[in-house]
Amino acid sequence: MIKIFEMGKIRDEEIFARFEPTSSVEDSVKGIIARVRAEGDAALRAYSAEFDHVDVEDFLVSTAEIEAALAKVEPGFIAVLEEAAANIRAFHSKQVRNSFIMADKPGVILGQRVIPLEKVGLYVPGGTAAYPSTVLMDAIPAKIAGVEEIVMVTPPNKEGSVNPYILAAAHVAGVGRIFKVGGAQAVAALAYGTASIPRVDKIVGPGNAFVAEAKKQVFGQVGIDMIAGPSEVLVLADGKSDPRFVAADLLSQAEHDKNASAVLITDSMALAEAVQQELEVQLAKLKREEIARASIDHNGKIIVAHDLREGIDAANRIAPEHMEVCVDQPFDYLPLIKNAGSVFLGRYNAEPTGDYFAGPNHTLPTSGTARFYSPLGVDDFVKKMQYSYYTKDALEQDYDKISMFANKEGLTAHARAVDIRFGKEDRD
């Protein structure tokens, strides 16, 4: 059963504690990456047999496989995917940055070019659950950014095929090539390239502990979006909230993973106790009850604050991935929220609206990293290149100042590079 804490009557360390998995996969992942670098596709096939229990001859998903998958998916769901894609596209289109140029001083031109990445790799999980929503959330911002090629990797099932709903989402999102490989070995393939799978510039998308560790280890060789931990939701709710709604919202994230975190912060002990009981009622009805119960029992918390402002202060310290604000006037509280990946305002805005349909991205910072990380967006798929131009007359106006700056740092060759253009290279 979920525990109830009263703010001020228990140490912060216990209230704000996050579950940290104790088993390390660092060495295992290091070995997998090294083998993929050395053996390429042969290593991928060996790991597919070992981990996914399937023999894969050709990793590339064929056009025929995609067409067969689309035939299996209900037309109604295809329509939902297309509408969700339109919402995601509309939201992320507002994030596009423009290049700029400045010519404010005579003879000086400064500027910045916003350039899309050439090739991006999408990792899409395929383990305990399939996530077509992840395909939309990761691929659509990349397309808007202008990425030339999007390469997707996802683990196959024991029959050697990919979940048809994932392939349908990839078709709707405009993904290029799709490869049947998962785990740390797929991340290694994207980072270094094999005969079958191209090397990419950046890898995005969630995964298990092995995938997260692999992304961490290849960072620097390629870019990554973030190191994602278990899913989190924090619900801020006043005493008028319906305990059934709150319990359902907590469970919507608890069912992801036994290590997921579901937290309620409220100013009402009555609501806290009602939600505690309601969770037990709803848990018994879930298909993924075992997973959700482990999450609720080990990582779930109900925190009773003196008022909602104190509750928001606690929420900012937790910096949750998802935060719901269940009050009558939620926009009054929005300016006070500083640290959260995505905020869901109002009593009828359940977190799954963001997971699937509303438009904002669902690839979000976890484990308190919302203090300094942002949701995945168009910016993640571009780079900025700056440039400058000086005429001789313009540099003559500034070279003394630049030389002085360089000499103060003890970098005389820097100073000489500007001085020499005006016959001053030998000055003291």
Summarised one tens digit per residue, pLDDT across range 232-241 is 999 999 999 9
Percent of the chain beyond pLDDT 90? 88
Please report which confidence band the pLDDT of residue 22 belongs to, taking 50, 70 and 90 as the band edges. Answer: low
How far apart CA 206 and CA 228 sit, in angstroms, is 6
Q: Which of 49, 54, 55, 28 is nearest to 188 (CA)?
A: 28
Please report which confidence band the pLDDT of residue 424 belongs to, taking 50, 70 and 90 as the band edges. Answer: confident
Please report which confidence band the pLDDT of residue 410 belongs to, taking 50, 70 and 90 as the band edges. Answer: very high
How far apart CA 82 and CA 241 sit, in angstroms, is 33
Laid out side by side, the sheet with 108-116 consists of: 100-102, 108-116, 382-390
Backbone angles phi, psi at 308, to 5 degrees: -70, -25
Of the candidates 322, 324, 351, 362, the residue annotated as catalytic is 322
Per-residue pLDDT at 13: 73
Per-residue pLDDT at 208: 87
- The separation between the first and the last C-alpha atoms of the chain, rounded to the nearest angstrom, is 77
Please check the confidence at residue 17 and state whether its pLDDT lies above 80.
Answer: no
Please report which confidence band the pLDDT of residue 21 belongs to, taking 50, 70 and 90 as the band edges. Answer: low
Q: Are strands 100-102 and 108-116 parallel, antiparallel or unpaired?
A: antiparallel
More confident residue, 215 or 228: 215
Q: Which of 191, 244, 237 is nearest to 333 (CA)?
A: 237
321 in catalytic set:
yes
216-259 per-position pLDDT tens digit: 999 999 999 998 888 999 999 999 999 999 999 999 999 988 98
55-74 burial, b at 16+ Cβ within 10 Å, e below that, comes to ebeebebeeebbeebeeebe
334-358 per-position pLDDT tens digit: 999 999 999 999 999 999 999 999 9
Of the candidates 255, 321, 324, 351, the residue annotated as catalytic is 321
Alpha carbon of 108 to those of 21, 31, 172, 396, 415: distances in Å? 55, 52, 46, 11, 19
Contact 363, 265 (CB under 8 A): no
